[in-house]
Amino acid sequence: MFNLEGKVALVTGGSRGLGRADALALAKAGADVVITDILLESDQADSSEKYGPLAQAMKSQGIVYTEQTAAEIEKMNRRAAVYKMDVTDREQVRSVVAAVKDQFGRLDILVNNAATLDHVAALENQSDEFWDRDLQINLTGVYNCSKAVWPIMKAQQWGRIINMASVAGTLGGFGQASYSSTKAGVIGLTKSLALEGARYNITANAIVPGIIGTEAWKSGNPKMNERMIARTAFRRPGEPEDIAHAIVFLATEEAKYITGIELNVSGGIELFTF
């Protein structure tokens, strides 16, 4: 069970956190893995400023493991590749997907993980610039990548698209108008892809993470983090691997009759806890 040998996966936003965990878990299950991100360790051009304070902080602190993750995957005797890719750049996305098809011969699994998570302000203080940025990355980026891989998956008559949503998209988030809106949009897009993909044996599902102990979350306000933990049934944050294991399952043949779902991996944060 849960054998992905012979499959090729592409994970966006794989430099750290959930994306890195997803890539490693898919490789452990047997897949060859392509990792994309705007940040690479060896990249001399620092484009992090374009994408906001979180990307800048991760770059300045050295929390970028894109190429390291690929090296770890190759040690598992799996093939791996790394591409610098901006999910908002449609031409670049199409170019990378074409290169992956040329290099690996196929593309079976797409994990749309790339997203922003640093725009927090009450509505009247929301940045119009960051609102537009979040729409472009969090929602349109998912559309761009899904559209680019679609013809390949249709031709193969097999595909798995797994999109990263959030409980902010199902519950809302105070001070998170842009983030919540985009993640709710991801869920709607996922359901449409599921309907259109079923006739081609392509499934599309959304993971709905709760509070996960990534580097980005740990860098947040400690008091706010404590409040969020208290909201979960388990009274603790999840681990990136909790998300990765769910993604591996949805990518397998065992999940072939599951499509269009919102899978909460949230520690029960959506329950009435007190």
| Ranges of the chain whose pLDDT falls below 70 | 46-49
The amino acid present at 194, given as its one-letter code, is A
Which residues are within 8 A (CB) of 255 and not within 5 positions of it... i.e. 6 or more apart?
Answer: 160, 203, 205, 249
The pLDDT of residue 221: 87
Q: For residue 80, give the nearest of 108, 103, 55 by alpha carbon.
A: 103
Q: Kindly list the strands in the beta sheet with 262-265, ordered across the sheet, starting from the edge strand earlier in the chain.
A: 80-84, 32-37, 8-12, 109-112, 159-164, 202-209, 262-265
- Chain centroid offset of residue 114 CA: 5
Q: Which domains does the chain have, with CATH numbers?
A: 8-265 (3.40.50.720)
Phi, psi of 99 (to 5 degrees): -65, -40
The pLDDT of residue 46: 61
The pLDDT of residue 14: 97
Cα 250 to Cα 145: distance, rounded to the nearest angstrom = 18
Question: pTM for the whole thing?
Answer: 0.96
Is residue 179 part of the annotated active site? The answer reads yes
Cα 244 to Cα 20: distance, rounded to the nearest angstrom = 9
What are the tens digits of pLDDT across the range 18-41? 999 999 999 999 999 999 999 999
Contact 261, 207 (CB under 8 A): no
What b/e readout covers 62-96, taking b as 16+ CB neighbours within 10 angstroms? ebbbbbebbebbeeeebbbbbbbbbbbebebbeeb
Q: Of 51, 65, 83, 179, which one is the catalytic site residue?
A: 179
The pLDDT of residue 132: 97
Six-digit token string for 160: 């798995």
